[in-house]
Structure 1
Amino acid sequence: MEADFRWIALTAVAPVAWGANYYVTREFLPAGHALWGAALRALPAGCLLLAAARERPRGAWWWRSAVLGVLNTSAFFALVYVASQLLATSTASMVMALTPLVLTLGAWALLGERPRVVQLAAAVVGLAGVALMLGGPGGQVRPAGVAASVAALLVSAAGFLLSKRWDTGRPGVLAVTAWQLTCGGVLLLIAAGAVEGPPPPVDGPVLAAYAYSSLVATALAFLAWFAGLRRLPAGTVGLVGLLNPVTGVLLGTTVAGEGLSVPQGAGMVLVVAAVLGGRRTPADAPAPDASCPDGPSPGAGQRGSRRASVLRWKDGKTRSGTQRCGP
């Protein structure tokens, strides 16, 4: 249970950073340059992580990185940029509150992760909290912005589920994140030059905004998010994503002056309750297989050995992960 809280806390870095990025994009980055904004967000982050990973794709990971780069980076970042420019900070982040249900149901269909009743209930509670927050002063909606947010939700959910489906423990999170950000960033750079022409002019505040968007809301946030997807059920990660609208509302009210109503405050409480209530319980932990081909080596003692493999769970499904063999 304590380990789950640690992974949830790490994963929460991503939605908090993304929620803040809505405000940064809306207030500081130039409008009408969605492709350049997405490219300057993705490519520096990808190159930085690629330099740290110092590993290139092999085999199927060449085309997998391209697919994930399009879904999680190219399409997602461009759509989020458009949504951030068209919607209020709070509204732009709250559209993504459907993430828990989409990831939970998608993981059931694609990964065989059967949702628990408590997870579905937490997702409904979270949506109720988001509905309350949408009713506040910052809840103006524009159809084009909402459409961009919904499209961003769908492409990112597909990318996140494929990331989890293709995850076997190797290569590591750092390398996989670097490959897809770099691939997506290169595609965005080509598209931006062809469609939008020269990059927009920048000054000090705009440069700082790009730095936050790339280094914090992308490099750091995606590492935290994919690490959470590797260790936690997709539905639990989706619930943690509800901190995105909470961050958007808090920034919209405290910084952008959008105002905060009593229903919005109640909605935040419901969202936090959903995140905490829908976390994985000990009953969800993988049951060790009776046979462990990589048993404890001589002299290992009670510490046993660890192996990265495909685990067999109590429901008969298999998941990738780490199993301790021996006493």
Structure 2
Amino acid sequence: MPVTVPASAPASGGAVRPSGRGGTVLSAALAALGPLTWGTTYVTTTELLPPDRPLLLATVRALPAGLILLAVTRRLPRGAWWWKSAVLGLLNFGAFFPLLFLGAYRLPGGVAGTVSAVLPLLVAVLGFFVLHIRPTGRTLLAGAVGVIGVALLVLRGSARVDPLGIGAMLLATALMSLAVLLAKRWGRPEGVPLLALTGWQLTAGGVVLAPLALAVEGLPPALTGRNIAGFAYLGLIGTALAYAMWFRGIERLPAASVAFLGLTNPIVATLAGLLLLDQTLTAWQGGGLALVVASVALGQRGSRRRDSAIPAPPAGPADSHRPARPSAADRAGRS
């Protein structure tokens, strides 16, 4: 039987999720703030930001937020965390953001949303290789239900399929899946605030994006008040705060559980369209919305059950991480 890694004891240390159902529900609610906030990105982009500048948008979304967090926390990586932060920053921001916007520009929102809905399935499959956790039938079923629900929620009959756009979205989703799993495996350095870890990754991704944006798109245009307001919201709320809560959830919840919370993104995007863009909701979309909610609930329940049944592995070398602490069940002498 392969060695498995429960959420309460990441492979190399890191924060431990709170024991008890109340703590788990709170962690899930806070983690969901990330994808819930990301659901407003489309409306923010179309209504407040300059058009046709995906690399500029990605850069301004990542780099200023990262530098602000570095200034506030006054912490820099040490040792292996220089390259770990660079890897996670590239996966989460430096590579993910451009691919995401490329897919968004070449695909209708519905197609892009449906492709990204495979995130829980990718995390479940890749988790076997990265964390040595076997995906359960419940998790795979919930992932399939989520994809169907998102498809019903956001797809239209006239949706066009662009191969390059599909490839970009699939690669972006795969990179995000890998980032979730690596963050779960590596944990967080001892004594380092979560905001500092978030700032390292945002800055690393922004440093990669800034010269790319300048080379491809040139100097940014003159910004209006609406542009500045949109960038401020997207950078501070939709990125710095949202990703800090997302990374907190990765620390404290099973990887598959966090991935299912990502399905709340198209729910918010659809509701934002209803409220702000005068869009309507059909009966099929209502059914899709119900399936997505059911998928998230089923994925949370299945992931927690699977996680609670997995014994903790022996603690490895600290490598500047927190030592893994036993769960409440382990302290009580239960397997």
For 1:247, the equivalent position in structure 2 comes to 268
Q: Does 1:188 align with 2:202?
A: no
**Offset, 1:11:** 0.9
- 1:141 and 1:208, CA in 2 relative to 1: closer, same or farther beyond 3 A? farther
Q: Does 1:232 align with 2:246?
A: no
Q: Does 1:28 align with 2:48?
A: yes
**Aligned ranges 1:1-327 → 2 under 5 Å:** 1-136=21-156, 140-143=159-162, 144-168=164-188, 170=190, 171-279=192-300, 280-281=303-304, 284-285=307-308, 308-310=322-324
Aligned residues: 304
Question: What is the SS of the residue equivalent to 2:278?
Answer: coil
Moved more, 98-107 or 273-282: 273-282
Instruction: Deviation per CA, 1:261-280: give whole Å up to 9, x if none.
Output: 11111111111111112214
TM-score, with normalisation over the residues of structure 1?
0.83
Q: Is the 8 A contact 1:286 1:311 kept in 2?
A: no
Instruction: Deviation per CA, 1:188-244: give whole Å up to 9, x if none.
Output: 112212222111221011111111111111101110111111111111111111001
**Offset, 1:32:** 2.8
Instruction: Deviation per CA, 1:32-73: give whole Å up to 9, x if none.
Output: 322111110001110122123221101111111112221111
Q: Is the 8 A contact 1:309 1:322 kept in 2?
A: no
Q: Is the 8 A contact 2:35 2:261 kept in 1?
A: yes
Q: Is the 8 A contact 2:154 2:270 kept in 1?
A: no
Q: Is the 8 A contact 1:113 1:233 kept in 2?
A: no
**Offset, 1:88:** 4.3
**Cα distance in structure 1, aligned partners of 2:309 and 2:77:** 30
Q: Is the 8 A contact 2:62 2:203 kept in 1?
A: yes
Q: Is the 8 A contact 2:111 2:155 kept in 1?
A: no
Instruction: Deviation per CA, 1:123-180: give whole Å up to 9, x if none.
Output: 121112112124447x734514433322321222222222222215534432221101
Structure 2 stretches lacking a partner, 5+ long: 1-20, 316-320
For 1:303, the equivalent position in structure 2 comes to none
Instruction: Deviation per CA, 1:269-302: give whole Å up to 9, x if none.
Output: 111111112214356337787x99xxxxxxxxxx
Question: What is the SS of the residue equivalent to 1:209?
Answer: helix
Instruction: Deviation per CA, 1:101-142: give whole Å up to 9, x if none.
Output: 0111111211112222222221121112112124447x7345
* RMSD, matched Cα: 2.9
Q: Is the 8 A contact 2:117 2:263 kept in 1?
A: yes
Q: Is the 8 A contact 2:110 2:156 kept in 1?
A: no
Q: Is the 8 A contact 1:93 1:248 kept in 2?
A: no
Q: Is the 8 A contact 1:13 1:224 kept in 2?
A: yes
Structure 1 stretches lacking a partner, 5+ long: 293-306, 313-320
- 1:92 and 1:210, CA in 2 relative to 1: closer, same or farther beyond 3 A? farther
Q: Is the 8 A contact 1:101 1:120 kept in 2?
A: yes
* Percent of paired sites with the same residue: 39
**Cα distance in structure 1, aligned partners of 2:290 and 2:231:** 32
Q: Is the 8 A contact 1:19 1:93 kept in 2?
A: no
**Cα distance in structure 2, aligned partners of 1:287 and 1:159:** 22
**Offset, 1:26:** 3.1
Q: Is the 8 A contact 1:22 1:84 kept in 2?
A: no
**Offset, 1:308:** 4.6
Between the two structures, name the one with larger relative contact order (CA 8 Å, sep ≥ 6): 2
